[in-house]
């Protein structure tokens, strides 16, 4: 290891976010499958995203073992193709992981939103994200012809060609912009979701922030943008690529952690033994580890007026407390609000 080796720094970032994301996704699965007994599509997508992130981290760690993060002069020539091959693999998995994280958040919000325009917004941004990420993954995989020319071009006499650096960087900047836009839309949408709920201002802020946690990754996406130039750096590219690798790891790792933390409130309430949110206290009620999950009742539940009915399911370790079976939530039409 040389004095200016960025490999250990990158390895620490990978280890931290791999550990945090694995723990939070595992807790998410426990809450959804064991406590709420409602393992939904977005939870399977989160598991798929976690699997891709593990593969991404493995590819990065393998490249570090071959010398990634070091200067070109300090790396044995035979290791350069190995580093670039793992970089090629990691870039593709990064794109897939990023897409799956966005789908995890978007599907979750789609499930709980009630108005047509909200569903339209979510479908539009997710479709845009899906189409572009598929194109971007294809472009990354086949940016050189033959594909192996990507990692052999600096050390062998193999003939081939690659797309121009301007095109590669332009597509990468566009992907970063779409990621940031998607995160911000999905992050601000919860404000509209809770606006008409009959909750206190403090509760609305708390619920909005909880639902918006899944879009925290936009911070790392924005910070990552100034380092995209390293993708096409022709000089000491293995060393200079370190910053982009660090922030790419942070972006997806932070997205997995935040989107999973947003689902852990039932577990926190169970552990702390606090009362269920949104219920009105009528005297001293003593019960342990009780919380409620809300789910929309059947399509025939609300036929009279513009009301939505939600069934409140109870999950208590102490069954002495019985929650109300149904709660009616006012959802006034826009025309009624003046």
Residue-wise pLDDT for 80-118, tens only, equals 999 999 999 999 999 999 999 999 989 988 887 878 888
Instruction: Report the largest interatomic distance among the alpha carbons of the chain, rounded to a whole angstrom.
Output: 82
Between CA 137 and CA 159 the distance in angstroms is 23
pLDDT at 191 over 70: yes
Q: Are 31 and 264 in contact (CB under 8 A)?
A: yes
Q: What is the pLDDT of residue 227?
A: 85
* Lowest mean pLDDT, pick from 142-151, 181-190, 237-246: 181-190
CA distances from 206 to 142, 202, 210, 277 (A): 45, 6, 6, 11
Q: Which of 233, 97, 179, 96 is nearest to 242 (CA)?
A: 233
Check: pTM over 0.85? Answer yes or no: no
The CATH code of domain 7-263 reads 1.20.1070
Domain spans, the chain: 7-263, 274-337
Between CA 213 and CA 262 the distance in angstroms is 6
Which is more confidently placed, 199 or 61? 61
Provide mean pLDDT across the span 156-163: 88
pLDDT at 324 over 60: no
Q: How many CA atoms lie within 13 A of 255 on its CB side?
A: 36
């Amino acid at each position: 290891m040389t004095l200016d080796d960025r490999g250990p720094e990158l390895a620490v970032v990978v280890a931290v976010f791999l550990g945090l994301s694995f723990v939070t996704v595992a807790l998410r699965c426990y809450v959804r499958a064991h406590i709420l007994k409602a393992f939904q599509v977005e939870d399977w997508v989160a598991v798929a995203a976690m699997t891709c992130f593990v593969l991404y981290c493995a590819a990065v760690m393998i490249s570090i073992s071959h010398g990634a993060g070091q200067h070109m002069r300090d790396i044995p020539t035979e290791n350069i193709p190995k580093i670039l091959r793992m970089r090629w693999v990691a870039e593709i998995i990064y794109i897939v992981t990023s897409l799956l994280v966005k789908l995890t958040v978007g599907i979750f919000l789609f499930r709980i939103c009630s108005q047509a325009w909200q569903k339209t917004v979510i479908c539009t941004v997710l479709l845009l994200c899906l189409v572009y990420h598929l194109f971007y993954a294809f472009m990354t995989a086949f940016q050189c012809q033959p594909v192996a020319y990507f990692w052999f071009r600096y050390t062998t006499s193999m003939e081939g060609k690659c797309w121009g650096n301007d095109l590669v960087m332009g597509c990468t900047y566009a992907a970063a912009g779409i990621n940031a836009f998607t995160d911000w839309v999905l992050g601000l949408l919860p404000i509209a979701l809770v606006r008409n709920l009959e909750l206190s201002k403090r509760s609305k802020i708390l619920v909005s922030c909880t639902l918006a946690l899944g879009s925290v990754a936009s911070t790392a996406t924005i910070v990552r943008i100034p380092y995209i130039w390293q993708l096409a750096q022709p000089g000491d590219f293995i060393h200079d690529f370190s910053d982009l690798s660090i922030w790419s790891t942070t972006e997806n790792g932070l997205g997995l952690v935040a989107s999973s933390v947003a689902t852990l409130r039932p577990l926190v309430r169970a552990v702390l033994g606090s009362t269920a949110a949104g219920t009105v206290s009528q005297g001293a009620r003593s019960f342990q580890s009780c919380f409620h999950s809300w789910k929309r009742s059947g399509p025939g539940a609300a036929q009279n007026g513009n009301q939505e009915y939600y069934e409140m399911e109870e999950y208590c370790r102490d069954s002495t407390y019985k929650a109300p079976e149904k709660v009616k939530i006012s959802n006034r039409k826009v025309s009624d609000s003046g």
